Amino acid sequence: MLRLTGIVKRFPGVVALDRVDLEIRAGVVHALTGENGSGKSTLARIASGALGPDAGRIEVDGVERRIATPKEALDLGIVTISQELTLAPTLTVAENVFLGRLPRTRFRTVDWPRLLADTTEILDSLGVRVDPRRPVSELSVELQQEIEIARAVSSRSRLLILDEATSSLSEAATSRLLEVVEQERAKGVAVLMISHRMPELYRAASIASVLRDGHLVADVPLPQTPETELVRLMVGRELGDYYRKRAIDPGETVLEVRDLASLDGQLLPTSLSVRRGEIVGVAGLVGSGKAELGLALGGAIPSVGTAQVLGRDVDLSQPRTALAGGIGFVPDDRKRAALLPTRSVAENFSVAWTNQLTRAGIVDTRTERQRVREAIERYGVVTASASSRITTLSGGNQQKVVLGRVFARDLDVLVLSEPTRGIDVGAKSEIYRLMQEFAAQGAGIVIISSELPELLGIADRILVFFRGQVRGEFTTGGLEEEEVAHVAVSGTRLESAA
C-alpha cells in the first residue's frame, strides 16, 4: 500500500529522519515505536502530506507519488488521527466529523437532518454518547479525541495512521478503538500505529518498526518479539526495574482537603489528606470525578469546599492563587498547561522561576541560563537548543518541560494529572524517579492516572473514584489490579477482598 524509501528529514539542528525505509501492507497493523523525539510523528506527517521529505521516495500501490498536502493524502485514502487535536473548536460535533464533506441539500445549503442522522449513526457505532449539535470546545479532551476518531473512520480510508490516538482515551474507549482498527484491518485497510503503550501494540499489531534517533534500527514480528527485546531496541540498553519501590515514612499532614466539590457536579464533596513523603494515586473511569479533583485543586475549575497546605487555607479560585498557596498542578492537557507556544524551551522553563530569580525587578540572566541548561539535562529534554521554539519539540518532550517546570519549584504539594501520557518507557521511569525524589524531600504528591499498573507501581495508597466520590481506598503492597478496577467499574469492592 505504501512504500517509503530512504526518507530524510532535517530540521534546524537535528536530523529527524535519516534514510528510513518503511513498507506498510494492506490488511496489516504496523506499529511504529521509539523513544520521544526518535522521529515517529515526523514520519507519520510525511506519509500524510503534512511535511515534505528532504530526500527519499514515496510509493503508493507501487506508483511513485509526491504527497504535497494533507488534501492529496486524503484523496489517496490516507487518513491520520494525531497526537495533537485538530478539531475546529467553534464548530459542532457533527460539522467536525464531516468537515470538508458536509452533506448538501439541492439548494447547496448544509443538509442538517442528514448530517445529524449520519453523525449519530457513526457515534453510536463507536459507542460515543454526545449530542452532535454541541460545539466541540465544550467537550473533554477524551470526547474530542473520540470525535477525531469518528471523523477518521467515517472517511473511507485505505491507510489509517494513528499517532498516539489512544493516549487521551480511557481503557474502555481504547478497547473500542482497537476493535474498530481490527474491523478496518479485516476489510483490507493498512494501519500505521504509533503508541507508547506496549499492551496495545501487542494486542493490535503484527509487525513493529523501531526508530532510534531518526534511524530505523529494526523491523520485528509481534507478538513473537518479547517486550524486553523491543524496549532494548528502542532505548539501546536494558531498562532496569521500572518502579523502584521504596520504604516510606510519612511525616506530618501536608494537604488536607475538606468537602471539595466541583460546581459542575462531576466531583461530589470529597475529603482526603496527604502526608509528607506520600504518593497518593487516584484511579477511576472517565467521568468518575478523578479529573475534576485535579482541576479543582489546581484552581482550574470552580469549586466549593476547603483545602489547606500545612494548615494554611489555599484559595482555589484561580490557578495563580492555588499555586501561591503551595499546590503545583499539572493538567492532562498540554494546551491547558499554559505552555507558551510561540516561545523557546528556555522561556517556557524560566517563567516558573522568574519570581525566584528576580532581585529588585532585574532578572539574573546568567543564573537563569545555567538553570535552564541543568533542567534540559535533568529532565532529558531532546531539543536542538535551549532557544528552539517549544512547539518544535516532540510531544513527549513538551510534556517533560511541563513537568520539569513544576518540579523545579519548591512546592509542598504536587497534583499531577496523567503525567506520563505520551512519554516513552525510558523517560517514564525517569519521571517516576523524580516523583519519588520529590516525595522523599518532604512533598506530598497526588497522581491521577488512567493506567492502573502505573498507580500500583508508584503510589503508596490508591483512592478509587466512582460517580464523583471515593468508593475505595487501598494501600498498594500486594494489591491486585483487579481489586482497584472492580471499585472503579461498580463502586463496590470485590467480595473476596471485602
Task: Find the shortest distance in angstroms from Cβ 86 to ligand ATP.
Answer: 15
Which is nearer to ligand ATP, 41 or 417 (by Cβ)? 41
Given ligand ATP, Mg ion, none, residue 36, with its beta carbon under 5 to 8 Å by kind, binds: ligand ATP
| Cell numbers for 129 | 454518547
**Residue 207, strand partner residues:** 30, 221
Cα–Cα distance for residue pair 297/262, rounded to 1 Å: 10
Which is nearer to ligand ATP, 225 or 392 (by Cβ)? 392
**How long, in residues, is the chain?**
498
Which is nearer to ligand ATP, 36 or 174 (by Cβ)? 36
The reply on whether position 497 binds ligand ATP by CB under 6 A is no
Residue 258 identity (one-letter amino acid): R
**How would you classify residue 387: left for phi > 0, otherwise alpha for psi between -120 and 50, otherwise beta?**
alpha
- When binding is defined by CB under 6 A, the residue of 1, 24, 30, 39 that contacts ligand ATP is 39
Measured on CA atoms in the order 246, 252, 257, 259, is the torsion positive or negative?
positive
Cα–Cα distance for residue pair 326/329, rounded to 1 Å: 10
The reply on whether position 420 binds ligand ATP by CB under 6 A is no
The reply on whether position 34 binds ligand ATP by CB under 6 A is yes
**Binding string, 40-79, against ligand ATP, x = CB under 6 A?**
xxx-------------------------------------
Task: Find the shortest distance in angstroms from Cβ 46 to ligand ATP.
Answer: 10
Task: Find the shortest distance in angstroms from Cβ 259 to ligand ATP.
Answer: 39
Which is nearer to ligand ATP, 18 or 480 (by Cβ)? 18
Measured on CA atoms in the order 133, 136, 137, 141, is the torsion positive or negative?
positive
At 160 the three-state DSSP class reads strand
- When binding is defined by CB under 6 A, the residue of 116, 248, 357, 382 that contacts ligand ATP is 382
Identify whether the C-beta of residue 91 lies closer than 8 Å to the C-beta of residue 136. Answer: yes
Task: Find the shortest distance in angstroms from Cβ 394 to Mg ion.
Answer: 5
Residue 185 identity (one-letter amino acid): R
Which is nearer to Mg ion, 118 or 148 (by Cβ)? 148
Nearest residue to the partner ligand ATP, using Cβ: 396
Given Mg ion, ligand ATP, none, residue 39, with its beta carbon under 5 to 8 Å by kind, binds: ligand ATP
Cα–Cα distance for residue pair 266/296, rounded to 1 Å: 11
Cα–Cα distance for residue pair 224/31, rounded to 1 Å: 14
The reply on whether position 11 binds ligand ATP by CB under 6 A is yes
- When binding is defined by CB under 6 A, the residue of 393, 431, 459, 464 that contacts ligand ATP is 393
| Cell numbers for 194 | 504509533
Identify whether the C-beta of residue 472 lies closer than 8 Å to the C-beta of residue 493. Answer: yes
Q: What is the 3-state secondary structure (H, E, C) of 274-295?
A: EECCCEEEEECCCCCCHHHHHH
The reply on whether position 394 binds ligand ATP by CB under 6 A is yes
Instruction: List residues binding ligand ATP (CB under 6 A).
Output: 11, 14, 16, 34, 36-42, 382-383, 392-397, 424
